[in-house]
Amino acid sequence: MAAETVVNHREKAYALLKTDADKILKLIKVQMDNLTMPQCPLYEEVLDTQMFGLSREIDFAVRLGLIEENNGKELLDTLERQLSTLHESSVKK
């Protein structure tokens, strides 16, 4: 039972981090579509702040043993690639 609980906590932790990463992607997409251009300092500040916050969440989850470090790094890398793709598509508009 204890091992099942640990697995359940790990799955929940990863799901919460993934949800936060998805929220960042949506926030940046809305910001790019409606508010600012990617070259705007406000855009960069929001992006940097959000990414820093997520990286701290991931670090905390890793230190608690809720997720593996490589899974956290993969989550950040995936989000960075998605944001890069989003940025490139907005620049081409």
Give the CATH number of the domain where residue 88 resides: 1.10.287.750
Residue 29's contacts (CB-CB under 8 Å, 6 or more residues apart) are 86
Ramachandran bin of 87, using left for φ above 0, alpha for ψ from -120 to 50, beta for the remaining angles: alpha
Average pLDDT over residues 7-19: 93
Q: Within its chain, how far is the Cα of 33 from the centroid?
A: 19
Q: Cβ contacts of residue 79 below 8 Å, gap of 6+?
A: 21, 24, 25, 51, 54
pLDDT, position 64: 94
Site of tokens 């809305």: 30
pTM, whole model, 2 decimals? 0.83
Where in the sequence is the domain holding 60, given as residue range(s)? 2-92
**CA distance linking residue 46 with residue 62, whole number of Å:** 24
Share of the chain above pLDDT 70, in %: 88
Number of domains the chain is built from: 1
